[in-house]
Amino acid sequence: MTTGFGLDHLPYGVVTHQGRRIVAARFEDTVVDLAALAASAPSGVDPSVLAGPDLGPLLAAGPRVWADVRSWLQETLAGSSAGRIPLDEVEVRMPFAVADYVDFYASLHHASNVGRIFRPDAEPLLPNWRHLPVGYHGRAGTVVPSGTPIVRPQGQRRPGPDGQPAFGPSQALDIEAELGFVVGVPSTMGQAVKADAFADHVFGVTLLNDWSARDIQAWEYVPLGPFLGKSFATSISPWITPLAALTDVRAPLPGQDPEPLDYLRVAEPAGYAIDLEVVVNGSVVSRPPYASMYWSPAQMLAHLTVNGASLRTGDLYGSGTISGPEVGQRGSLLELSWGGTEPFTLDDGSTRTYLQDGDTVIIRATAGSITLGEVEGTIHPR
C-alpha cells in the first residue's frame, strides 16, 4: 500500500476514538495510539510525553526525544500491527494549543505580484523586502483545524463616492497556500535564536491556509498592516509532519541578493522541495512550489527572535503565500485573478475572482514519497 503515510513519514496528531482523546501517529490508513503502544511495548520511550491531551508534551521534549520516539515507532510498526485504529473510526482534532502565531511574506514571486497589482507604476518590492523576512503577528485564538467551517468575515471597506467607508461581509474573500512551522522547544526572552539552531526548536510542518479578506485588509492595513482582514480564521492540517521526515527533500534556496546580514546567514541556506496543490470545489487551480521561496524557515525563525522575543511551545509561524514564477503556480486568488480583474474558470464552467459562499478549498502537498496532511475549509455565509 502506498498512501504517502508510510514508515518514512509518520505525522503526529490528536484524534478521538470511542470517547477517548488520543495522541496519535498516522500510518497508512490507520492511526496509532501512541501512549497505549508505549505502555504495552516499553522501549525506553517515556509514555508521559505521549499522554496528551495534545502534542504539547512531545513538542516540548526536544530533538533527542523526538528522534527516540520516531525510531521506536518505525521499528515497532515495521514488525507489528498492534495499536492501529482504522482512520475512518476516529475524528481528528486540533493537534496542539497554539501559543503565538506569526505569518511571513517570504515568496519573491508572491510579493512581486502583489506589488505589481497594487503599485503598477512603481518598483514591485518595497526597499526592506530583500533585507529581512517581512511578517505580521496574527491571532492564535482563531487558528483552527482542517474541516472547521469558515464564516465569511465582515468589516469596513474602502469609502465609496460619498466618502464614507462601507460595512458588511467581505466581497473579496481569499486564500493563501502556506507551509506552517510548529515550534517545540521554547527560548529565553532577550536571547535571539540563531539561524543554525532551527532544528533545535522546530518540531515539524503543517499545511496552512491563511484566509484573507482583501477588501477589509486594503482599507485597514495603512499604516500598521494586517488586522481584521486576517484574524478571523487560519486553518491548519491536523497532521504535523516531523522535520526528520523531510530530510531527503531539503532544497537549496534561490540566490539571495544582497547577501543577508550576519544573523540571517546559515551554513547551508535551504528550504524544502514540497509541491502544493490548491483545489477549489474539486478543480485544481494552482500548484505552488515551496522550493521557490526566497527566505528560508531558519531565517524566518532567526528574524522572529532577533529582537529578543521568546519562543513558546506551540508557537506557529507561516511561510506566507507560496507562489512560483508561472501563472499556474500562484498561491492566492488575489494573484490568480490579478486583483479581481481576470476571472479564472473552474472545471464546472463557473468562474471566480474571490470565494463565494459554499465554496470548498483544499490545500494538499507532496514531498518526495510522502503526502502531507491536507487542509480544508468551506465558506459559510455571514
- What is the tens place of the pLDDT at every residue in 299-342? 999 999 999 999 999 999 999 999 999 999 999 999 999 999 99
**Greater confidence, 39 or 322?**
322
**Greater confidence, 80 or 187?**
187
Is residue 1's pLDDT more than 60? Answer: no
Res 58: pLDDT: 97
The alpha carbon dihedral of 368, 373, 378, 379 has a sign of: negative
Domains and CATH numbers, the chain: 12-92 (2.30.30.230), 101-380 (3.90.850.10)
Is residue 45's pLDDT more than 90? Answer: no
Whole-prediction pTM: 0.97
pLDDT (mean) for 155-176: 96
- Per annotation, catalytic residue among 110, 137, 303, 380: 110
Q: What is d(CA 102, CA 317) in angstroms, rounded to the nearest whole number?
A: 5
Q: What is d(CA 202, CA 199) in angstroms, rounded to the nearest whole number?
A: 5
Quick one: how far is CA 327 from the chain centroid?
Answer: 22
Quick one: how far is CA 221 from the chain centroid?
Answer: 22
pLDDT (mean) for 181-198: 98
Q: What is d(CA 12, CA 240) in angstroms, rounded to the nearest whole number?
A: 5
Q: Is 110 a catalytic residue?
A: yes
The alpha carbon dihedral of 228, 229, 235, 241 has a sign of: negative
Is residue 159 packed enough to be buried (19+ CB in 10 Å), middle (13-18) or exposed (0-12)?
exposed
Res 278: pLDDT: 98
Res 124: pLDDT: 97
Identify whether the C-beta of residue 234 lies closer than 8 Å to the C-beta of residue 210. yes
**Greater confidence, 327 or 38?**
327
Q: What is d(CA 293, CA 274) in angstroms, rounded to the nearest whole number?
A: 11
Res 41: pLDDT: 64
**Which pLDDT tens digit goes with each residue over 86-135?**
999 999 999 999 999 999 999 999 999 999 999 999 999 999 999 999 99
**Which pLDDT tens digit goes with each residue over 57-68?**
999 999 999 999
pLDDT (mean) for 41-67: 90
Residue 175 banded pLDDT, cuts 50, 70, 90: very high
Is residue 42's pLDDT more than 70? Answer: no
DSSP for 263-313, please give it. Answer: GG--SS-EEE--EEEEEETTEEEE--BGGG-SS-HHHHHHHHHTTSPPP-T
Is residue 190's pLDDT more than 60? Answer: yes
Question: What is the residue-averaged pLDDT of the chain?
Answer: 96
What percent of the chain lies above the pLDDT cut of 70?
A: 99
Res 43: pLDDT: 66
Res 39: pLDDT: 83
**Which pLDDT tens digit goes with each residue over 221-237?**
999 999 999 999 999 99
pLDDT (mean) for 341-361: 98
3-state secondary structure 66-96: HHHHHHHHHHHHHHCCCCEEEHHHCEECCCC
Residue 157 has φ and ψ, to the nearest 5°, of: -130, 170
Res 40: pLDDT: 76
pLDDT (mean) for 274-290: 98
